[in-house]
Amino acid sequence: AGSQIQGTRQSRRRKSLAIAYEAGQGDGAEPRRARWEPPRWREQLQRIRDMRSSRDAPVDEMGVQRCYDSSAPPEVMRYQVLLALMLSSQTKDQVTSAAMLRLRRRGLTVDSVLQMDDETLGQIIYPVGFWRNKVKYIKQTTAILKQKYGGDIPSTVEELVQLPGVGPKMAHLAMHIAWDSVAGIAVDTHVHRISNRLKWVKKETKSPEETRVALEEWLPRDLWKEINWLLVGFGQQTCLPVKPRCSQCLNQDICPAAKRL
């Protein structure tokens, strides 16, 4: 009998917990929020959309989504997306785009890169940031793709981040662009900086990966893919790392950082 009573209590508890997150039923009560979210974030987001409506930032014209050959076989296209992402780390979009164009002119496939010597690959991708390291990572990763994935790229974030030279941001963008799958938010320095300036994180975050975790806790999943593209372009044109153009920003009156910058 004791276990039956205990079971009934647990059942009631479960029901009350479930009901706690439902809207008030006819009594005018406000629905309880299941999670924290920043004040006025929808308004801020819409204003950023308005500022980004012309789609003329470097990321729009020369970002990774513009660097691959869309007419190539799917596995070649996906490989080119991953390579562009590896080149793009700590490198301006213009430089990445030019390097990818040079690579594609030579026929950019898993086999063509494996057949290329390190010196030639370095000459082609220079002056991308840390190009010597990237030569090493590209050759290592390409060999793994050939041996383990039949020349394609992995289709999960967990496998992608195991590849040499591939971090979480690249992995999430590869899922977005190459596989059209949203596994998480791709957070680079722009997204990290702007999320902290707008207080879109509960407390200040120290790294892009911390910011990704914090954003995914509250940002609706249907916005996860859009948010990278929006904030990267916004960070390139308006919310600059140094001397942000607050006077030109539509969020000036509702941005927590605007008065301090």
Residues marked active site are found at: 169
- The three-state DSSP-derived secondary structure of 142-163 is HHHHHHHCCCCCCCCHHHHCCC
Per the structure block, which two tokens stand in for 172?
């999430």
Q: Are 225 and 167 in contact (CB under 8 A)?
A: no
> Rounded CA gap, 151 and 142, in Å?
8
The structure tokens listed for 207 are 């790294």
| Tokens found for residue 250 | 């539509």
Region of 72 please: left (phi>0), alpha (psi -120 to 50) or beta: beta
What is the Cα–Cα distance from 73 to 59, expressed in whole angstroms? Answer: 24
CA dist 113 and 145 (Å) reads 12
CA dihedral (179, 182, 183, 187) positive or negative: positive
34: closest CA among 165, 220, 230, 251? Answer: 220
